[in-house]
Structure formats: structure tokens, C-alpha cells
Structure 1
Amino acid sequence: MAKALRSVCPCLNSVWDVIFASERNSEGQREKDLPSPRNSLLADSQETRHIVYMALYDFRARTSDELSFRAGDEFEILNDDDRSSGTWWFARKRNRSNGECTGYIPYNYVAKKESLATESWYAGKLSRSEAKVILLSTQTTTGSFLIRESENQENGHALSVRDGTIVRHYRVMQDKTEQFCLNTINRFSSLKELVEYYKLNSLRSDLRLTTPCQLKQHRPSIRDLSYLTVDEWERPRKEFTFTKKLGSGHFGEVYAGYWNKTVQVAIKTVHAGAMNRKDFQIETQVMKNLHHPYVMSLYAICTTADPFYIVTELMKNGSLLNYLRSKEALHLGLEQLLDMAVQVAEGMSYLESQNYVHRDLAARNVLVGDNCICKIADFGLARAVKEGVYVSQSTAIPYKWTAPEAIEFGRFSVKSDVWSFGVLLYEIVTHGRTPYPGLDNQEVVSMVSKGYRMPCPDGCPGKLNEIMLQCWNSTAQNRPSFKALVQILVPFNSYEDTA
């Protein structure tokens, strides 16, 4: 890793500059940790001591160290250290007649056999809005269903069911004896029992559970290009091919492309003089340890020639700002819009927990993928802050999104990010309208310092406007935390039905 960092040169500060990489052991350590033939034989002799895992999705190996498999294949994990901390596990396939029998597999593609995660109807962490999109886009049968983790109840679950052209959501409750129920009458010892009961009995008039939603096509993202690139994320340029230009900016261009003709990626080209080398190295050192489902991840960099490449996961719908303004987003209702806001709040809550200040949170710096999945991007202005406040001398300030104390004194903190989130909420509910319409930057600074706040947008619920105003409190410490914002926003997606 140190060698890769020493070779890094200046890079771009823009929405596509998402520079995250995993801290891993060195390549030498990785080779040392690979099970030797002797250890493999020992594992064979202790087969019954290994927990059996089952594949939830198909996976095609990208390198010779990885293991291809199909959903339903069973494995034993041969390296306990990998299982406790790594994102790639060294595994042995139990049905050995089906191709290679050992290799590295992505940890989030498997689950313990006979666990809840292996049920065809279990969706895990899926938002109410995502469940609705999936059920309406992939299913045609009334009664198609899934069970997911509850958004507003810790360790709770929710049942989402298609009913004609709508989706109904039911809270799955647990009583003091840990039995599951949708009402106070029928109780079950497991979610599987609950599902089987409502296949035979109605949730409401003429509505029973029928077909589990086909979830396996919605594969989780893999943090790395492959097992071999976990540490070696400085990659040769020849490994990347360009397929389509996505956009351009002051410092470079963005393309869709592939790594080794197998993994879809976004490739940002950056000219060598775009950023101070020392600043880039500092940013990379900090950000490489940040990993969250709603925060963009860096795959690789290429800095051996000009222009440099910054390679990230591909978010097919581009920036949230452009997506909100697109024809495709015109059909989005308040529920879907708020779900995107919650995703951003969850990502920022994670950064908050890591003492990390973004400093440029806005719809233009959030990227959108399939099923309206949102990920926070553009950490070119970001800093890790141990003391809670970062003092900046920069004049590159997005005035309409920046808190008064950051504009006047250069004092950036999580609380100034909360102010920016309030402006982002305005952008979301107005489908991408520019904040403070009709006012220039200087007018905004002057009026906000005197107590002016944007009025409630048309169609925005009063309670949501109250949240914006809380974010825009003139006293930074009186603004809510991102953790609190998540808890406040989730109840907007309240449950509609009871059985």
C-alpha cells in the first residue's frame, strides 16, 4: 500500500473523485495466509468442524485465485481469519464435481446454510421504496412477496406484498416470548411459519402470499475489482477499456468501461497538474478505511502516465441532481424521494461516526444507481476531523449549500454538513430546483446572516419543512445529528396495513 501511495500524483476534485480503498495485509502476507496443502489436508480431516455456507448468487471468478460458483452451491470456509474480518474468504466447494473446488469467494455472496438469509423470500436490508420498485418491476402476480429488515424498528422485520398494481407493507412484530406476528391473534415461532400460514390464510380480502420475489438478480456490490486487487489498487492502464463517455468537467472526463473486460467501472481521466500531490496522499490515507453501502468506493488508480485514471464503481444514473431533473424521475412520489434522502442521511451518519466532514454535500455530489440506490461521492474537499471542527482557508465555497459559520470563519464540522443536508432535502423535494431561486451568492450570504430561510416548497409536507429548518439553525450545536435525522426521516415511510 505504501508503495502505491508513493507513486500517486495529483488528481481531480469533482463528483467522480471518490477515493476509497481497503486497508489490507501486504501481498506477501496474503500469500503466507493461503492454506498450504498440509493445511488443506488437515481441513479435510476436520470437515465436520466447519460451518457450511450456501451461495445466494451466481459468481464468475475474475482471476485464477477466485472460485466460480452458482447459487445453491455449498462451501466450507478454510481460513477463520478471513471469515471474521476479510471481504474475500478462502473456501472449499462441497459439490466438487462442479469445477474447481477451492478458491477465494466474496463474503457477501454466501450465508450460513439454513439461516434466514438463504430463504428465497428474504431480502435483508432493503428499504420500503426499494421493495416497492422490485415487486412492481419484476413481479406480475398478486401475492408476490418478500420479507426485509425494518427501517424503523431495531432487529425488526417487514412484509411487503404485491396487491394488483400497488404494494402493501406489514410490520412483523415480536412479542416478549420472541414469537412473530402481524396482529395480536396469530403468533408463530419463526418467520418461515408466518410465511407458510399466510400462503393458506388471507392477509386481507382475497390477498394471500403466493410467489417469493426473485431477489437473486439483485446482487450486492463487491468492494474490490477482484481478490488480487485488494492491496494492489495501482493498476496497469492496459487492464481498462472505455465504452462510453458519460461527461466532462474542468479537470477531465468520465467514461463507462470495463476492467479486464469483466467488471463494469467508471473511469475518470485526470490531468497530472490538477491537484496538489500531498493533499491527494493525505485524502487517500484517510478515506481508504471508509466503507458503507451508501458511500462510493474506489476500485483502482492508474498514475504511471498522463492522464491519470481514477476507477470507481459505475452508478448508471449519474448524479442525483441530473437524475431528479430527468424525465425518468418525474414519476417519483414523495415516498421514493424521501427514501433517497434517508440513504444519504445513513451514509452521512456513518461518516459522522468516523469523525469525517464532507464539506460539499449537495445533490450534484450524490450518485444514483439501479433501483434509486444513492451513494455519497466527491470527497475532494473532505477532511478527517479529530477535534470536531476543520478550519479551512479555501475560497472554493459552494455558498448556497454552506453553513454561515463555514462561510464567515471557515469552520467546517459535521454540523455544517447537516446544514448542507437541509439544502439537499430542498433539492430532492423540488426535483432538482436550484436553492434560493432568484438570489445570487452575495445576496444569499447577506440574507441568511440576517435570519432568512427558504420558504416551504410547493408540495412539501410541513413536517419535512420543519426538518429543513432544524438543519438551518443558526447555532450549529442546535442542529440535529445525522443519526437523529435518519430516525426522524424513516417514519415518513410509515406502514399502511395490518393483517
Structure 2
Amino acid sequence: MTVDPMTVDRPDDRRPLWFFGAIKRTDAEKQLLYPENQTGAFLIRESESQKGDFALSVLDEKVVKHYRIRRLDEGGFFLTQRRTFASLNEFVDYYTKTSNGLCVQLGKPCVKIQVPVPFDLSYKTVDQWEIDRNSVQLLKRLGSGQFGEVWEGLWNNTTSVAVKTLKPGSMDPNDFLREAQIMKSLRHPKLIQLYAVCTLEDPIYIITELMRHGSLQEYLQNDAGTKIHLTQQVDMAAQVASGMAYLESQNYIHRDLAARNVLVGEHNIYKVADFGLARVFKVDNEDIYESKHETKLPVKWTAPEAIRANKFSIKSDVWSFGILLYEIITYGKMPYSGMTGAQVIQMLGQNYRLPQPPNCPPQFYNIMWECWNAEPKERPTFEKLHWKLEDYFETDFSFADTDNFVR
């Protein structure tokens, strides 16, 4: 059977086992890294950034490497123009017989593993999310902050959950309930899922899915230099960008995007949390949210226009994402180290930007720099940031030597 890449809607049982369709790069890596796959395991997927192109992902020992498959104008496919193929079937058949520039010769197609999706505590909490506080047992304090504490808990003696307790007086319960309703409506694999709330007495409980490794900030600081390297750092950034691209598509803003508000779960899963401050940002068609003047701002993560005028947009979130990238590449270091908030504001007014950190690749720093454009409209969308990070390691063979691949 010859694969026609334009008929990607054909049923899965009629596709070759190696064709995974529109799977993301990070998801392809997770699939290939499962123990069921051996060196040479591979899959072909659609390219997110280049419509009509495809990408080959292949397992080399314990590392996944990616190659861009280009299309000829007259049809056909190639990694290098010195060798072209009439179909993806021919492409696969050739590289299963010889590596010819690939990191390894292709072996068996990647085993498909079903990835779990977020769930609700029970059918009753899908629409009726106020639950009995006595059904929640607090087991272990995971952390504390300005507005309360975070605990590992157990719901109904069966389900592990995270419980955020809010200090009395830190938030109007009515305001919170409005925000909780927003959070309940936002469902995405890279956003922390709100399960339920307890608001009838203090302290207010916010019950969410549990991410056992805590905040990304602490994770970076604790594991720096041991098991976290550029591949993992780009993966972290891509997953956060995916969640933020979803918020962007739903016309919401976060307003406090930072490593402390990204949580880490099992199997290198990263999710955006604390988007309870999110607001619908459609205001007079300006896509701007004007916050209350008494709101405290995390200055070192906040875009200049938000500092100056208290006005937030998805583009101010993009600025914050650039600061988050700095945290990721420096293993959780404080941005603008040694500077006060007032000094940061003054320096930003003089067009100062965080310098390129040591050991930060220019390609990664360029993405950060784009996020810090003084003109909000010139900053990239999260959708664009997402595919840039998804395709960060993909190798373009179109005019390359055969040894030009991701090592």
C-alpha cells in the first residue's frame, strides 16, 4: 500500500504502523522512549511548522533524533536531494536496509502507547464541583507562599490529589468562584486540571491533579546539571508553550507565568498551573485586560507595558515566557540577579534585556529575545513559539551532507 500523505484522515487501521499522523515531537519522543521500543524504532509524523512536510523520529540507544522529510515540487520525498523517493513507503523500505547518513538503520515501527488524559474525581464534580471538605485528607505539605499552602492529599481515601489552601482574607470567595468556573472550562493536557473546590468555610480548598515533583523552579534548582540537559530543557519549554497556546486560542491570559507556576509530574510531564488569575481579555476589541491598581506585580517577569499601565494581554504573557526560558536554561536562577524591582523597571526603560547566559545556545537565546520585543504586537504568538520549540532539534537534510544529523 502506498501512503498518500494528503489522505491523513484514513482510519488508523489502514495506515502503516510507522505513520503516526499529527503527533507532536515531544509526544513522539515519549512514545519512542518506552521500554517496549529498541534502538532503530521509528515513526513518521506530520510537521507542525511546515505544512505538507513530514518528520522522521528514530530511537538511537536512549536518545530520540529527528529528521525533516522534505517534499519535491513534482511529488516524492527526500532527506537529501541526492536520494529521492516516490512515496513514504519507498523511503521507509530504503532506510530499513541501510542507514546511509541516519544515526541508525531503521528497525521496527514505534509501539503505540496510549497516553493518559486528565480525569475528574467523579461524575458529580464535572458540573457540581463544590465537594465536602471532610472527603479530602491532607497528607503532606508540599510548599507555602504568600496566599496559602499546597498539600498532597487524598480524596475519598482513593484518589491522590493536590490541595491548595488559601489564607483567610487573601481572596474574595465570590471572586475565586468566578475564577474556578473559568479554570473548570479550560481542559488541556498541559494545563493543571481543576477537580473541585471547598469554599463554604476557611480556608478555601482548591483541589487539582497531583504533580509529584513540585514546581519547575524547585525541580530545576534541585536537579541542575545531573539529569537535565538541553534536550530536556527544550522539552520543558515546548510543553509550557503548548499549554499557553491553548490559553491563547481560548482568549485567556495567565498574568503570572513563571517557573514557580509550572508543575512537574511523572515521566517528564510539565503543566501550567495557577492560571486562576486568568481573565477573558476581549476588552473593546483591544485584547487587553486592565488590572486593578492595587494588584501586586512580579516585576521581574512582567512586561514593560503591564508595569507602566497595568494592562495585560497574551503578548505580555509572551514576555513572561521569555523570562521563563531564562529560568529553564539557567537551572532556576533568579532573573536580573542582584537588581531590585525598581532597578529592573529603570533598566527596562532604557531597553535593557537579560544577557545571553553562559552555555545558552544562540538559537535558544534568539527565541527568548523575540519574546522581549519592546512592541507587544511584534512578539511571536504562543502557537509560533510552540512549533519553534517542537522543531528545535529537527535536522534539515535538503542541501546537507549525509553526516549532518542531530547527535
TM range (shorter): 0.7 to 0.9
Q: Are 1:322 and 2:322 matched, yes or no?
A: no
Q: Secondary structure at the match of 1:452?
A: coil
Identity %: 47
Question: Where does residue 475 of structure 1 map in the other structure?
Answer: 375
* Aligned residue identity for 1:371: H
Question: Where does residue 372 of structure 1 map in the other structure?
Answer: 268
Question: Where does residue 247 of structure 2 map in the other structure?
Answer: 351
Question: Where does residue 390 of structure 1 map in the other structure?
Answer: 289
Among residues 349, 352, 361, which one is paired with 1:449 in the alignment?
349
Among residues 39, 47, 59, which one is paired with 1:162 in the alignment?
59
**Conserved in 2, the CA contact under 8 Å of 1:341 and 1:425?**
yes
Q: Are 1:431 and 2:331 matched, yes or no?
A: yes
Distance in 2 between residues matched to 1:177 and 1:159, nearest whole Å: 21
**Conserved in 2, the CA contact under 8 Å of 1:253 and 1:268?**
yes
Question: Where does residue 114 of structure 1 map in the other structure?
Answer: 13
Q: Secondary structure at the match of 1:492?
A: coil
Question: Where does residue 286 of structure 1 map in the other structure?
Answer: 182
**Conserved in 2, the CA contact under 8 Å of 1:224 and 1:230?**
yes
**Conserved in 2, the CA contact under 8 Å of 1:169 and 1:496?**
no
User: How far is 1:381 from its partner?
Assistant: 2.9
Question: Where does residue 108 of structure 1 map in the other structure?
Answer: none
* Aligned residue identity for 1:264: S
Distance of aligned partners of 1:181 and 1:477 in 2 relative to their CA distance in 1, 3 Å threshold: closer
TM-score scaled by length of structure 2: 0.80
User: How far is 1:182 from its partner?
Assistant: 6.0
Among residues 383, 387, 407, which one is paired with 2:307 in the alignment?
407
User: How far is 1:405 from its partner?
Assistant: 1.8
Q: Are 1:417 and 2:317 matched, yes or no?
A: yes
* Aligned residue identity for 2:305: E
Structure 2 stretches lacking a partner, 5+ long:
1-9, 403-407
TM-score scaled by length of structure 1: 0.67
- Of 169-178 and 256-265, more deviation after overlay is shown by 169-178
* Aligned residue identity for 1:459: N
Distance in 1 between residues matched to 2:167 and 2:338, nearest whole Å: 36
Q: Are 1:221 and 2:121 matched, yes or no?
A: no
- Quote the RMSD (CA, aligned, Å): 3.4
Q: Are 1:144 and 2:44 matched, yes or no?
A: no
Among residues 280, 294, 299, which one is paired with 2:195 in the alignment?
299
Report 1:181-220 matches (<5 A).
185-188=84-87, 197=93, 201-204=97-100, 207-216=104-113, 219-220=115-116
Distance in 1 between residues matched to 2:315 and 2:19, nearest whole Å: 37
- Of 172-181 and 260-269, more deviation after overlay is shown by 172-181
Q: Are 1:309 and 2:205 matched, yes or no?
A: yes
* Aligned residue identity for 1:436: Y
* Aligned residue identity for 1:114: D
Structure 1 stretches lacking a partner, 5+ long:
1-110
Distance in 2 between residues matched to 1:168 and 1:496, nearest whole Å: 12
Question: Where does residue 484 of structure 1 map in the other structure?
Answer: 384
Deviation per residue, 1:134-179 (Å, 9 max, x gap): 5456257322334445343346543322233543333455667987
Q: How many residues are matched? A: 383
User: How far is 1:299 from its partner?
Assistant: 1.1
- Pick the structure with greater CA Rg: 1
**Conserved in 1, the CA contact under 8 Å of 2:76 and 2:84?**
no
* Aligned residue identity for 2:13: E
Distance of aligned partners of 1:417 and 1:200 in 2 relative to their CA distance in 1, 3 Å threshold: closer
